[in-house]
A and B are shown apart, each in its own frame.
Chain A
Amino acid sequence: MTAYIVRRLFATLPVMAVVAVFVFFLVRFAPGDPAAIIAGEDATADAIAAVRAKLGLDRPMLEQFVIWTLHLLQGDLGVSIFSDLPVSRLIEQRLEPTVALTFSTLFVAVALAIPIGVIAAWKARKLVDRLAMAFAVLGFAMPVFVLAYVLIWLFSVKWGVLPVQGYSPISQGLWPFLEKLILPSVALGVTYMALIARITRASMLEVLAQDYIRTANSKGLATDRVLLLHALKNAAVPIVTVIGIGIALLISGVVITETVFNIPGLGRLTVDAVLKRDYPIVQGLILVFAAGKVLVNLAIDISYAFLDPRIRY
């Protein structure tokens, strides 16, 4: 296993290198010029050219790439063109909200989805199953922003029990931290809940049709033991895969949810940087996201071995 992990970690290096090359050139081939944005509305072409020169954006692209790569190899992601702050600091500022939103969303989604999926499979093709799946389809079909605005109107404006927006770091208190995460986690979690519930049901149905489940039932084992200990554990591989994909998607930013609830996460940082053509931030973020996805995939693969002893690396 250790050799496998080391091998996989080394395999990420060429992936990151390819990502680095692509992202560097793609952002520069895209139309737009940060110097024009900085110089502002009333800037002359000469003023814009002067800003561009000072930022080093007038140098040959290859030269810019070499400079960036040399810094990157020293662990330096560069500084923002606009704020002049290190990209690593900007990412660090946004990491906590994103990680908090990711795990609170998954908590909501998994806590609802697994029971719903298990019950739907247990009561397959009965009313409970149809209601559960109708709920799942509705959750999947409803745009996040619609649910988000409904939740804000109901819980924040009408009843005044939860805040409309914002993020409070956990260092400023547990309740301020939690109360600002409840609505975004529910709004976003419903979509993931629907996805995980459907996968859980499908996977459970397959397992429940196996001979050993029939044997367990005929031995007179309690239903909850059959469902949770025998069936769910064996149905877990696809469920864990979906949850893992969810983590990877959530970590790389959920722009709409972050925007509607004004959570300063990585998703908003990415979109803002793209719109402003803040190249160093875009480059740094894409590299971080790529690394994150590689690591999450690795963690999922490793978890397979624990869930299913037949899987060996």
Chain B
Amino acid sequence: MLHRIVAGALALAVPFAIPAAGHAQEKVLKAVMHADVRVIDPIWTTQTIANIHGMLVYDTLFGNDSDLKPHPQMVGKYEISPDKLVYTFTLRDGLKFHDGSPVTSNDVIPSLRRWAARDGVGGRLFSFVEKLEAIDAKTFRMTLNKPYGMVLESLGKTNSSVPVIMRAQEAATDPQQQVKEAIGSGPFRFAKEQWVPGSKAIYLKNPDYVPRPGNEPASSFAGSKFPGVDRLELIWIPDSQTAMQALIAGEIDFFEAPNIDFLPILSRARGVKLEKTGKLDSTLGMIRLNHLHPPFNNPKARQAMYHLIKQEDFLRAVVGNPEYYKQCFSFFTCGSPLTHPTGIAALKDYNPKKALQLMREAGYNGEPITVLQATDHVTITPATQVLIQAMRDAGLNVDAQSMDWGSVVSRRTKKEPPAQGGWNIFVTTTGGVGSSNPVLHTWLGGTCDKALTGWPCDAKIEELRNAYAFAQTDAEKKAAAMAVDERAAEVVTYVPFGQWSVPIAYRQDRIENVVTNTGLAVLWNIRRK
């Protein structure tokens, strides 16, 4: 009797258990990223995951390497006029969108315009663009009204939002609306019909992709792109422990953002390799003050906050393991070429008594200071707790308002006084690449109402940021950056509390050719062994 039951069960199960023949030969890469792909338009949102998606599906004109130097990507050749006002670009031969249509200048121009309408770096570039015109199907010309020195770096930027090239019909979409289709000319084609938001996004190799000739070595976004697998699955596993176990068990190949607590386990796991994400640290911590309302509408009160911050305390709470963090007394990522050579003295001066004294001199009389306290963020929550304790220890009256991160993101846009739903302080983080020069680092902006939340208002810092953008030599750039750094410290655009980097983890016994990059993960060249 029993053998009949077993035989019956097998007869039922076997036909289902045989995998489809088409999948058997496929080379599949399964990667767990830091978030799930929910938005397919990397211009509409600055979310990092949307831009990782964007870099698989679309291509860019230039790509910056790991030293942040731009290299042509879709562009075959380009010329810059001697007065540095006219840039003429010619696209490489054979570039095609996933629907088979050729990539032309008429696709490039609206794509760049749409990017510039949403991205701070793009907006700054286009504020100097007098004319952007197609010369022929493959050639286009950008004419500037000033010799802006960041044209190629901006086009090759490796952090959100990336200036990807879309088809003209998608590029014509209102920048405030999401495109309906993700059809690019990048190394992978987005399989929208298999997309399950909140679970997985599937990408299939683009067989028509034409890599840069000459097998240029890959470095961040630069170099030849070779789609290394037939199928790329971005799987979203919300629980970090489950993702770690899945990597150890070999169910996934690549884990972009393992929890720091699990790194010792992963470092001992057979076949698993941990690797730093790039030359620069990936994340910088910052305490943002609201310049619109007392007490922080007074520069002295803002400067007082420097003396409350012992970076080591924050970093121990946020990261824990000193191997992965470092103190940084500059507004530019430490380790990048433009970081302050000696560090800014005020940022090193931990002195709570002095902080209280400066606050009193600024007119502070114990009024509540509203701190937006995120309760569900892996790094921002502990950092905010350390800040609140440091403020209370110094004798400040803290009104800590607890809420989830989504509410902080919403609440911090309110310009009303704290008592009417506004705020005084929130803690956040920013990327290491974006903070590596005065133009990319939009949190340094002092454009008042147009600035990022906190609304610093300082014409001088904007002048200095522009001076950097027009600097022609490396020495001039370095001097200009140092001036920005020192002015930012004076104005207190924010209070930095150090930087850190969490390594990626992958199965080195199964995949190879992993290209590291600070910021957006580079997945296109990975091959299965």
Interface string of B191-206 (1 = CB under 8 A from A): 0000111111000000
Q: Is the CB of A31 within 8 A of B410?
A: yes
B365 at the interface (CB under 8 A from A): no
What residues of B have a CB within 8 angstroms of the CB of A85 in the complex?
195, 197
B357 at the interface (CB under 8 A from A): no
Given contacts A32-B406, A269-B198, A276-B38, contact A152 B245 (CB under 8 A): yes
B281-338 residues at the A interface, CB under 8 angstroms: none
A33 at the interface (CB under 8 A from B): yes
Q: State the Cβ distance, A193 to closest chain B Cβ, in Å.
A: 23
A201 at the interface (CB under 8 A from B): no
Complex Cα gap A90–B409 (Å): 25
The one of A40, A175, A261 that contacts B16, using a Cβ cutoff of 8 Å? A175
Q: Is the CB of A41 within 8 A of B46?
A: yes
Complex Cα gap A39–B412 (Å): 13
**CB nearest neighbor in A for B200:** A264
Q: Is the CB of B16 within 8 A of A163?
A: no
Q: State the Cβ distance, B141 to closest chain A Cβ, in Å.
A: 29
Most chain B CB inside 10 Å of its own CB: which residue of A42, A164, A173, A177: A42
Chain B binding surface, main DSSP class:
loop
Q: Is the CB of B242 within 8 A of A37?
A: no
A36 at the interface (CB under 8 A from B): yes
Binds A, one of B66-74, B175-183, B519-527: B175-183
Q: Is the CB of A82 within 8 A of B241?
A: no
Q: Is the CB of B19 within 8 A of A173?
A: yes
Q: State the Cβ distance, B115 to closest chain A Cβ, in Å.
A: 13
A125-146 residues at the B interface, CB under 8 angstroms: none
Interface string of A265-290 (1 = CB under 8 A from B): 00011001001110000000000000
What residues of B have a CB within 8 angstroms of the CB of A107 in the complex?
none
Q: State the Cβ distance, A226 to closest chain B Cβ, in Å.
A: 27
Complex Cα gap A54–B41 (Å): 15
Complex Cα gap A242–B18 (Å): 39
What residues of B have a CB within 8 angstroms of the CB of A268 in the complex?
198-199, 238
B442 at the interface (CB under 8 A from A): yes
What residues of A have a CB within 8 angstroms of the CB of B430 in the complex?
41-42
B45 at the interface (CB under 8 A from A): yes
What residues of B have a CB within 8 angstroms of the CB of A41 in the complex?
46, 428, 430
Q: State the Cβ distance, B154 to closest chain A Cβ, in Å.
A: 15
What residues of A have a CB within 8 angstroms of the CB of B443 in the complex?
42
What residues of A have a CB within 8 angstroms of the CB of B442 in the complex?
42
Q: State the Cβ distance, A279 to closest chain B Cβ, in Å.
A: 12
**CB nearest neighbor in B for A163:** B251
Q: Is the CB of B197 within 8 A of A152?
A: no
Given contacts A83-B38, A174-B16, contact A262 B404 (CB under 8 A): no
Most chain B CB inside 10 Å of its own CB: which residue of A149, A166, A269: A166
A50 at the interface (CB under 8 A from B): yes
Q: Is the CB of A160 within 8 A of B249?
A: yes
B451 at the interface (CB under 8 A from A): yes
A224 at the interface (CB under 8 A from B): no
What residues of B have a CB within 8 angstroms of the CB of A124 in the complex?
none
A211 at the interface (CB under 8 A from B): no
B237 at the interface (CB under 8 A from A): yes
Interfacial residues, chain A to chain B (CB-CB below 8 A)? 31-33, 36-48, 50-51, 53-54, 80, 82-85, 90, 93-94, 149, 152-153, 156-157, 160, 163-166, 170, 172-177, 259-262, 264, 268-269, 272, 275-277
Known interface pairs A164-B249, A174-B16; 14 further A-B residue pairs with C-beta atoms within 8 A, sorted by A's residue number = A31-B403, A32-B409, A36-B410, A38-B44, A40-B45, A41-B428, A42-B442, A163-B249, A166-B251, A172-B16, A175-B16, A175-B17, A259-B239, A264-B199
